[in-house]
Amino acid sequence: MKYYIIAGEPSGDIYGSRLIKEILRQNPKAKIRCWGGDLMKDSGGELAMHYKDLAFMGFFEVLKNILKILKNIRFCKKDLLDFKPDKLIFIDYPGFNLRIAKWAKKKGFSTYFYISPQIWAWKENRVNSIKRYIDQMYVILPFEKELYEKKHKYNVQYFGHPLVNIIDESLKSLNRKNNLPPTIAILPGSRKQEINLILDKILDVVNDFDDYEFVIAGLSHIKKETYFKAIKKKNLNVKVVFNQTYQLLNNSQAAIVTSGTATLETALIGTPQLVCYATNSFNIFIARLFVRVNFISLVNLILNKETVTELVQSDVNSKNIKTELTQILSYKETKMKKDYKTIRKLLKGKNIENKIIDHINKN
């Protein structure tokens, strides 16, 4: 059996690596070619393209890199024709993946999509392409199943969210270190343009919390100078730890987190958080025209209420960050942690990857 898996982001690399391990557990002779990252490669996939060459965030960045994106699409189509997989699995990354899916379905490939595009937030008309070109969708949020099946009459599978198991497995090998100074974690994003826009503003409050040590969760695919340039500019004593995000969160009293998967990871670990998000003015203008959700963090979206405070665009300033962080460190965290437990119950699932691969192989 031959599998081709396309993931375009760090989170997709995590989820894809778990699928690859399950495929090879069931069938050690399976051939797997993939777009993703080091985790997918180390799990046994043959890497065709690294996600660091694909990470274009926002409308302006996509337009600026349109020629490179079109080149990647051409390469992907040729690579699929050369490899001829029995199963083609897409992981999130909808702008690229749905375009490939349309072409692939017409070529007769069996198509599967893991982690749905956020049609509940914007571009709900993508469901039409999904119904035409995707043989089976596997969602990771409970309300997505209801949206697809009740509103759009399209059957999807929901086995739980893989992050719960990923984090629980990780925490088993991590110990909360009691001898560390009180710590506030900074998770500034997984893309360079995110970090450049948000980190400066977050660092403005470091000197307002003398009793705490601020530590940045760095990622290996981001150049180190991206972080250290911002720290040096503010003349601060702030540490950066690379690829130790769960360990950092597990030992922090609070976290300042950009919107995205990191907000859910922080909640599942149980660390009180403040969510900050900023993008360029063009992106926010387009988002305000088309995005239809009341919240930007997955925590609030899943619970459909404001559990964590969200600061967006001009609200991301030192005054607001200081105020909200002070409240979290004092009294706000009790209610937040109670809501975190509710999220765990909603998302918990057993043997998720096993169930997905079993379902793919039977369909």
What was the pLDDT predicted at 44? 98
What SS3 state is found at 78? helix
Four-CA torsion 47, 52, 55, 60, nearest 10 degrees: -130
Give CA–CA dist 103/91, Å, rounded.
16
The model's pLDDT over 128-161, given as tens digits with 9 standing for 90+, comes to 999 999 999 999 999 999 999 999 999 999 999 9
102, pLDDT greater than 60: yes
Find out whether 274 and 325 touch, Cβ atoms under 8 Å.
yes
> Out of 111-120, 190-199, 211-220, 230-239, which region has the weakest mean confidence (pLDDT)?
190-199
Position 285 scores a pLDDT of: 54
How far apart are alpha carbons 328 and 332 in whole angstroms? 5
Q: What average pLDDT does the segment 276-300 reach?
A: 70
Domain 2-160+350-362: which topology? Rossmann fold (3.40.50)
Q: Is pLDDT at 282 greater than 60 in this prediction? A: no
pLDDT at 60: 56
Average pLDDT over residues 5-29: 95
| CA pair distance 324, 339, nearest whole angstrom | 18
Structure tokens at 248: 């950092």
Q: State which amino acid sits at residue 53.
A: D
d(CA 226, CA 132): 42
- Euclidean distance between the first and final Cα of the chain, in Å? 13
Distance CA 270, CA 249 (A): 8
The mean pLDDT value for 264-273 works out to 96
pLDDT of residue 353: 98
Q: Answer yes or no: same fold for 2-160+350-362 and 168-347.
A: yes
The answer to whether the beta carbons of residues 274 and 309 sit under 8 Å apart is yes
| Interval 254-273 mean pLDDT | 93
* CATH architecture of the domain formed by 168-347: 3-Layer(aba) Sandwich (3.40)
Taking all residues of the chain, what is their mean pLDDT, rounded to a whole number?
Answer: 91
User: What does the pLDDT average to over 307-327?
Assistant: 94
pLDDT band for 330, please (50, 70, 90 cuts): confident
pLDDT of 110 strictly over 70: yes
Q: At a CB cut-off of 8 Å and minimum separation 6, what does 315 contact?
A: none
Q: pTM for the whole thing?
A: 0.86
- Cβ(249)–Cβ(186) below 8 Å: no
Sign of CA dihedral 38, 40, 46, 51: negative
* Average pLDDT for 234-259: 94
- Alpha helices (runs of H) in the chain, residue ranges in sequence order: 10-26, 38-42, 59-64, 66-83, 94-106, 126-133, 142-146, 162-172, 192-203, 224-234, 245-250, 261-269, 281-290, 298-303, 318-327, 333-347, 352-362
| pLDDT surpasses 80 at 351 | yes
What pLDDT does 286 receive?
A: 52
pLDDT of residue 303: 93
Mean pLDDT over 236-253 rounds to 94
pLDDT mean over 124-129: 94
| Residues contacting 104, CB < 8 A, separation 6+ | 80, 88, 111, 133
- What phi and psi values does residue 122 have, to the nearest 5 degrees? -165, 165
Residue 94 has pLDDT above 70, yes or no: yes
Domain ranges of the chain: 2-160+350-362, 168-347
- What tokens does 24 get? 């090879």
59-68, 209-218, 322-331, range with the lowest pLDDT: 59-68
- What pLDDT score does 99 carry? 96
**Structure token pair of residue 251:** 């030992």
> Which tokens in the block code for residue 276?
């900050």
| Mean pLDDT for the stretch of residues 176-199 | 86
pLDDT at 190 over 90: no
Largest CA distance in the chain: 61
In this predicted structure, which of 213-222, 250-259, 274-283 has the lowest mean pLDDT?
A: 274-283
Share of the chain above pLDDT 90, in %: 75
Compare 146 and 293 and report the one with higher pLDDT.
146
Residue 32 near residue 46 (C-beta atoms within 8 A): yes
pLDDT tens sequence across 31-81: 999 999 999 999 999 999 999 877 555 555 666 667 778 899 999 999 999
pLDDT above 60: residue 290:
no
